[in-house]
């Protein structure tokens, strides 16, 4: 039997991403966001939701750009730190020994230790309540070559991605199947 709770956000697990931002005047920051998602394939769009009180909020709102950096088990400590410490007080890149890499289309830096960095340009801000949603177009995706095979197929799962679920950071477990495996025709064994 399930217990009924008041309405709330229980859509878990979620990707725990580090969003890098800049004010365009030489000040960069990282904010950890668990409320991020895919919006559209064509054009490629994503969203992040941020509280207006967060230090990075004005940077995103004023520049209209950010970079979503996917996280890994190795980045779990930095991911948490960048979510609980304010850029008003500390330089998160310096404190977590994270490498700033130049992006191709936006001024916000990418995080070198991330297996995937997604350059984003804000197209719309939806002021929804406690959080404002930034709907953004994806301008470029940068993928770490170490996770590519000889055919240039990207194997993100080999980076040991990190997710956030109800207050905890978790690594992803073993593969249980691939997209479409439930309806894929099985090869008949020769006999």
Q: What is the pLDDT of residues 113-138, one digit of tens each?
A: 999 999 999 999 999 999 999 999 99
CA–CA distance, 118 with 52 (Å, rounded to integer)? 22
The predicted model gives 11-21 an average pLDDT of 94
Task: Check residue 15 and give its pLDDT.
Answer: 93
Structure confidence at residue 191 as a pLDDT band (50, 70, 90) = low
Assess if residue 5 is contained within a domain: no
Q: What is the pLDDT of residues 144-153, one digit of tens each?
A: 999 999 999 9
CA–CA distance, 157 with 168 (Å, rounded to integer)? 19
Q: Per the structure, how many domains does the chain have?
A: 1
Contact 32, 83 (CB under 8 A): yes
Q: Is the pLDDT of residue 29 over 70?
A: yes
Task: Check residue 190 and give its pLDDT.
Answer: 63
Among residues 22, 39, 58, the alpha carbon closest in space to that of 135 is found at 39
Counting other chains too, the contacts that 133-136 makes at CB distance below 8 Å and 24 or more residues apart are 133/47, 133/48, 133/49, 134/47, 134/48, 134/49, 134/50, 134/60, 134/66, 135/39, 135/45, 135/47, 136/45, 136/46, 136/47, 136/48, 136/65, 136/66
Contact 36, 17 (CB under 8 A): yes
Assess if residue 190 is contained within a domain: no
Assess if residue 123 is contained within a domain: yes
| 147: containing domain | 14-171
Q: Is the pLDDT of residue 16 over 60?
A: yes
CA–CA distance, 120 with 40 (Å, rounded to integer)? 13
Assess if residue 182 is contained within a domain: no
Assess if residue 189 is contained within a domain: no
Task: Check residue 188 and give its pLDDT.
Answer: 62
Structure confidence at residue 173 as a pLDDT band (50, 70, 90) = confident
The predicted model gives 36-46 an average pLDDT of 96
Assess if residue 176 is contained within a domain: no
The predicted model gives 79-105 an average pLDDT of 97
Assess if residue 142 is contained within a domain: yes
pTM of the model: 0.93
CA–CA distance, 27 with 95 (Å, rounded to integer)? 15
What's the CATH code of the domain at 47? Answer: 2.30.110.10
Alpha-helical regions (H) of the chain: 55-63, 76-84, 92-95
Assess if residue 181 is contained within a domain: no
Task: Check residue 187 and give its pLDDT.
Answer: 66
CA–CA distance, 102 with 19 (Å, rounded to integer)? 14
Structure confidence at residue 189 as a pLDDT band (50, 70, 90) = low
């Amino acid at each position: 039997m399930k217990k009924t709770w008041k309405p709330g956000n229980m859509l878990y697990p979620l990707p725990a991403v580090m969003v890098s931002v800049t004010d365009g005047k030489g000040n960069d920051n990282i904010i950890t966001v668990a409320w991020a998602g895919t919006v559209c394939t064509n054009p490629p769009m994503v969203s992040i939701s941020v509280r207006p009180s967060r230090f990075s909020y004005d940077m995103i709102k004023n520049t209209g750009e950010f970079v979503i950096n996917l996280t890994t088990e190795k980045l779990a400590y930095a991911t948490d730190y960048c979510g609980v410490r304010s850029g008003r007080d500390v330089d998160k890149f310096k404190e977590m020994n994270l490498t700033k890499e130049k992006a191709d289309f936006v001024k916000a830096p990418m995080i070198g230790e991330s297996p995937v960095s997604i350059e984003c340009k804000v197209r719309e801000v939806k002021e929804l309540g406690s959080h404002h949603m930034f709907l953004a177009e994806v301008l470029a995706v940068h993928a770490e070559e170490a996770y590519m095979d000889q055919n240039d197929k990207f194997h993100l799962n080999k980076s040991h991605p990190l997710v956030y679920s109800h207050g905890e950071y978790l690594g992803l477990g073993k593969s249980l199947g691939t997209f479409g495996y439930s309806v894929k025709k099985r090869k008949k064994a020769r006999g």
